[in-house]
Amino acid sequence: MTDKEVQAQAVAQAKPPAKRKWSRRLMWFGGPAIVLAIAGYLYITSGRFASTDNAYVQADRVTIAPQVSGRVASVEVRENEPVRKGDVLFRIDQEPLEIAAARMQAQVESVKSLLDAARSGYHSAEADLRSSGADLKYKEQQFERMQELRGRGLIAQQALDDAANNLASARAKQDSNGAALSKAQNLLGGMPQTPDEQLAGYKLALAQLAQAKLDLEHATVRAPMDGVIGKTSLQPGDFLAMGQAAMPLVATTLWVDANFKETDLTHVAIGQPATIEVDTFPGKKWPARVDSISPASGAEFSVLPAQNATGNWVKIVQRIPVRLAISEAQLDSMILRAGMSANVEIDTGKQNSILGRWQGGAEPAARVAQSR
């Protein structure tokens, strides 16, 4: 073997150690750098998002009940049928209510006739009072003349007694006519010129007629809002009492109640953006925002609140309900429904940093004021 071949072989054997040395350096310096970069990213973004899977889709729910009693004449909707505000849901038999409305209408006309008769009676009593007043004045004058003649001895005592009796009858007639006039005046509210609409009896009759017409209108039960009819078994012929539950109506306006741990709400505030993912449609996210934050934990609203002053106290992280407003309940033919389980993630916009931690002392007070 020549010297050149020996040198070439030596060079070839010397190169692999140099490559191994470079790879070791890359591992020693590059590996920790990658780990530090990943750790730094996780540290910076760890405080930005608050998430929980203790969340459920909610909706307003109204129990439809009639405002009048009666037998169901017809049912216009089916179970799980969407309805619009004002749509007819079912009808109560209107015949008894129509009879009641006709009776009240007759009552109004009767009261009006009575008031007209009272006005006529008032004028008649007024004329009788004037007539009796004139007769009383005449009887008083006649009694005075009889007294004067009796004093002179020109007439008998019997004539004076008859004059006194006539005077007493005239006064009684005057009092009777005055009472009749007062009675007629009271029926007319003190003034015969008062319109019927301002008299108590007529207003009472009108109110009863209005109530009868309102009951007749309430015989047709309509949807108070947009929504979907829930489970119902109402059938024509069923009798419903006033206020008896007939069917549930679930509104189309939905929101999400997310129960966050109290330790996750450090940077959560009203108005922050959020995303919602329901278990029914995995991978699909609905945009939302923080609408409100409960003023107390769920335990505070329970029937039996926790007694944390007892001797066997154990600290438990509490959960605070947060309401999230959903932008659209339907996304690509996928519809959210009340009761669905959801995963919620809120973007607080807060990033971990030494400067942020140092400046974060005055932030909680402003956040609390905003959440109110």
User: What does DSSP assign to residue 244?
Assistant: -
Phi, psi (5° rounding) for residue 34?
Answer: -65, -45
- Domain extent listing, the chain: 47-61+248-304+313-372, 66-93+219-244, 97-215
Distance CA 299, CA 234 (A): 38
Residue 264 near residue 319 (C-beta atoms within 8 A): no
pLDDT digits (tens, 9 = 90+) for 66-98: 999 999 999 999 999 999 999 999 999 999 999
pLDDT digits (tens), the chain, 372 positions: 565 565 656 555 555 555 556 666 666 667 777 777 776 666 655 567 889 999 999 999 999 999 999 999 999 999 999 999 999 999 999 999 999 999 999 999 888 887 777 777 676 777 767 777 777 777 777 777 777 777 777 777 777 777 778 778 778 877 777 777 677 766 666 666 667 777 777 888 999 999 999 999 999 999 999 999 999 999 999 999 999 999 999 998 899 999 999 988 988 999 999 999 999 998 899 999 999 999 998 888 888 877 788 778 888 889 999 999 997 766 667 888 899 999 999 998 876 555 444 444 444 444 433 333
pLDDT digits (tens, 9 = 90+) for 230-272: 999 999 999 999 999 999 999 988 999 999 999 889 889 999 9
- Its CATH architecture, for the domain 66-93+219-244, is Beta Barrel (2.40)
- Fold of domain 47-61+248-304+313-372: Elongation Factor Tu (Ef-tu); domain 3 (2.40.30)
Query: CB count, 10 Å around CB of 139?
Result: 21
pLDDT digits (tens, 9 = 90+) for 152-172: 777 777 777 777 787 787 788
The crossing angle, in degrees rounded to 10, of helices 200-218 and 95-152 is: 170
Distance CA 201, CA 118 (A): 12
